[in-house]
Chains A and B, each alone.
Chain A
């Protein structure tokens, strides 16, 4: 079925631009429902307008209208319309059930397991693996291999959130005290944007996530890089920056694998420079934006849980140099 002409939107966050099988099933259902409902709507409006036209003529001609025979004929019409409506509803109901079944039948062999935890206003993703040393945590950006199923376990640390990657699948809620799951598969490479879809407070509007679907080879390279501990500093400035990080307030919330910082209250920064965005999709991840964010995240995303960092200039520049090296 053809997609709607691009009246709105961006193809990277679009339910009608399905690039994964789960979203594709739903998109098919959408078009079926859309055409059936449009047909019904048009039919009802035509009937209404025709009735209005008849009634206007009758008023102009001052006719009397109601008769027992007329009422019986009307009963047949109404009953007929009702029967057609019931049949169409039945069709849509079964279409919905079939789509449900198709979604439940996503083959899950060799699925990639990711544990996603929602926080006020960012996403934590832990890539699971049978080998403990291969487990790593990242934030606000997922990479997944094209053609391979992904099974996400969804939890919430504070309030209810909802993970919605429209190009790939319907949404699922992240509910504190409960575990939910979302299974999907990307069938075309691309960068897809997801957003939190359950009002979660102050900065709900700025809680996005990027899902990068890439070839298995590219994915394997990314996985390898993410599994490694943080890059060793190569300059004095970077070494000083790491010092600032480990001994200052940063380490109270953030972790960098391979350093002494291992708090888990904020995004893991081991490979922060490799990410496309900062602040859960709020700003692009460039040197200037990094500096602005670290300096005063409140000015960019008011209410975020990261306090401003009023460091002396030398420390600040060193810290930024170090963070910029964490590919």
Chain B
């Protein structure tokens, strides 16, 4: 060792292996419950979101079985209505948005060279709240008291007069669970992206995936409150007699629609934008060149994020809103295609001037292009008021929404699974099985959903548990059901691939794809604390440029988990932050919060007495320990 070496435990090893002590994970059940390691929480979040995806997928399979032939009695009307409501609610609130968040929780700190996510206990709490809320929804369905007014829960159908029992209360409270969770993760991710970046990683050097997550989380901060407000107003109408949505007392059912869709339209961008981020990551790595026109890509992402808030009335074209107003939203809904088109063209340009590696992740991206572009074009059709009035609320919309959501998010995410699985799990997924999975999913998806465009134009409305035999819709419905079986087979094969690889897959090197972003500069999987000495970055592609990494961050504590905090725009080193260690308070507080939320479905007083244990738990959570404070004081340096 040379004289100048700083003497800390981690220095004797390579930059990719974990530092001792401070970041070590705890063992056993305590360790599992109390972890504040973003990777562990992120992995668990991803697995749970996938679990909800599978459950909601099974519901879809039941729906497709019922609709395969006309006038079937496999599912009663009531059961079908509960099932399609839960399918939509679970897919949108328990899978699509949380999955993007979960992947970001895992990857963002790694990509920006940070050792952990900001507010890790809050992120852990957000996970448990999400899990419990999701389980509540499915328990309600299994007990035959599941919500049955659609995932969008229009009033007065979901209101106190026509929404009998507690069904729609479970829906409204599920929103509370998922919005609480989503908003907390959003604040944590925004803080992480703006304050925890490696020195030198100015905003014009962050990976496009990180830009996408920054945009997504800003949208969440401003978009999710609208559904919090509307679901709270709905619960109040149902539970304590308010009249927000009661036309007989000055309220209005259209108020529900405005509030819901003001959230609901941005929500599809909460779902779509992480997918766009994944596409950029994979296109770059598998074309062996950075994505073309980085500034244009960044501007497009941000433009999309802003514009997403100006489209919501296109869900309401059939209502009594004035015509001139509707035309504005036609224009807005068409114009938002432009930034997405810019991204599509830039990606194609990247591929055209790159050297393509046609492995499974890239196949999913090619699938994304096909499916998402088709879905986006049907979106332009739906933006037109007169045409929308024919195809609104028909199977044409069912086709459109699945093309954009599955094409724009699910396919990229599956590509992302194949791409990042080596990093998450330290093993490679089987490539041959991966290719088969892709083709099963691609063919299955198109066979399922393409015919639905025709069905919609041919007069088949949405949300129907059956249809008459003489309408002639049978053959295409049967085709869709067969396609669904193929799609399901693909997903099942994926699960098989994952399990097999976890047990006996090929060991993964640090960087199996020779990609350009910082997560590939850690071991697979990364150790606790990610980087013994976080990198100092000198360019946008730290692993591809000769001056990509120009130094290391030294001097962070090894007794206490410390992260480096940098300035928001230029990422100049600014301070260091001692992070909290493992704690049981997040899961405990989450359980207490859930008790309060679920009880308040049955009595409003639960809000009062249920809050008390939550407040006590949060106080204990916050309250610093002497030991921790003494450790911090030893390292303290005032500004």
List residues of A whose CB falls within 8 A of some B CB.
4, 6-10, 13-16, 23, 25-26, 29-30, 33-34, 37, 40-41, 44-45, 47-48, 50-52, 54-56, 58-59, 62-63, 65-66, 70-71, 74-75, 77-78, 81-82, 85-86, 89, 92-93, 95-97, 99-100, 103-104, 120, 158-160, 162, 164, 166, 169-173, 175-180, 193, 195-206, 281, 302-303
Question: Would you call A4 and B374 a contact (CB within 8 A)?
Answer: no
- Does A204 lie within 8 Å of B366, measured CB to CB? no
Given A8-B455, A37-B377, A159-B162, decide whether A48 and B348 contact each other with a Cβ distance below 8 A.
Answer: yes
Report if B143 contacts A (CB, 8 A): no
The residue in chain A whose Cβ has the minimal distance to the Cβ of B474 is A8
Min CB gap A69→B, angstroms: 11
Contact of B503 with A by CB under 8 A: no
Contact between A74 and B349 (Cβ–Cβ < 8 Å)? yes
CB < 8 Å: which of B342, B384, B451 contacts A99? B384
Q: In the assembly, what is the distance between CA of A198 and CA of B352, in Å?
A: 46
Given A66-B353, A160-B253, A202-B78, residue A13 in contact with residue B358 (CB < 8 A): no
**A302 with B465: CB separation less than 8 A:** no
Chain A residues near B451: list those with CB within 8 A.
7-8
Residues of A within 8 A of B288 (CB): 59
Beta-carbon contact of A74 and B353 below 8 Å: yes
Contacts of A120 in B (CB 8 A): 162
B225 at the binding interface (Cβ < 8 Å): no
B473 part of interface (Cβ distance < 8 Å): yes
B389 and A171 within 8 A (CB): yes
Instruction: State which residues 122-137 of B face A: CB under 8 Å.
Output: none
A303 → chain B, closest Cβ, in Å? 6
The reply to whether the CB of B462 lies closer than 8 angstroms to some CB of chain A is yes
Known: A56-B358, A89-B337, A96-B384. A175 touches B254 (CB 8 A): yes
- With A63-B355, A78-B349 already in contact, the answer to whether A33 and B338 are too (CB < 8 A) is no
Q: Is B608 an interface residue (CB 8 A)?
A: no
Beta-carbon contact of A54 and B390 below 8 Å: no
Q: Per-residue CB proximity of B356-399 to A under 8 Å, as 1/0? A: 11100000001001100110011011011111111111100000
**Listed A/B pairs (11) with beta-carbon separation below 8 Å:** A10-B470, A29-B387, A30-B390, A34-B381, A55-B353, A78-B349, A93-B331, A99-B386, A193-B459, A198-B154, A206-B466
Given A15-B390, A30-B390, A178-B320, 16 more contacts at CB 8 Å?
Answer: A4-B457, A15-B457, A34-B381, A40-B377, A56-B356, A77-B345, A93-B384, A97-B330, A104-B323, A158-B161, A164-B461, A178-B253, A180-B319, A196-B461, A201-B162, A204-B81
Tell me whether A33 and B387 are in contact in the complex, defined as CB-CB below 8 angstroms, given that A13-B459, A81-B345, A89-B338 are known contacts. Answer: yes
Asked if B463 CB lies within 8 Å of chain A CBs, one says yes
By Cβ-Cβ distance, the 3 closest A-B pairs, closest first, are A177-B247, A170-B389, A9-B458
**Given A9-B471, A202-B81, A204-B464, A175 and B320 touching (CB < 8 A)?**
yes
Q: Known contacts A37-B381, A70-B353, A162-B318; is A178 also within 8 Å of B254 by CB?
A: yes
Whether A26 pairs with B318 at a CB distance below 8 angstroms is no
For the complex, give the distance between the alpha carbons of A193 and B358 in Å.
50
Would you call B475 an interface residue if the criterion is a C-beta within 8 Å of the partner chain's C-beta atoms?
A: yes
Determine whether the beta carbon of B459 is less than 8 Å from that of A15: yes
User: Are A173 and B355 in touch, CB under 8 angstroms?
Assistant: no
B235-280, CB < 8 A from A: 247-248, 252-254
Residues of B within 8 A of A175 (CB): 253-254, 319-320
Q: Which A residues are CB-close (under 8 A) to B342?
A: 78, 82
Minimal beta-carbon separation of A47 from chain B (angstroms): 5
Residues of A within 8 A of B466 (CB): 205-206
Known contacts A15-B391, A51-B348; decide if A199 and B355 are in contact (CB<8 Å). no
- B335 adjacent to chain A (CB < 8 Å): yes
In chain A, what residue has the closest Cβ to B459?
A13
Instruction: Give B373's nearest chain A residue, CB to CB.
Output: A44
Is A65 within 8 A of B386, CB to CB?
Answer: no
Contacting residues, chain B, for A66 (C-beta < 8 A) = 289, 353
Report the bound CA distance from A71 to B77 in whole Å.
58
B308: Cβ under 8 A from any A Cβ: no
Closest to B84 in A: A199
Q: Which residue of B lies closest to A93 (CB)?
A: B334
B81:A4 contact, CB within 8 angstroms: no
For A81, what are the chain B residues with a Cβ–Cβ distance below 8 Å?
341, 345
A96: B residues at CB distance < 8 A = 330, 383-387
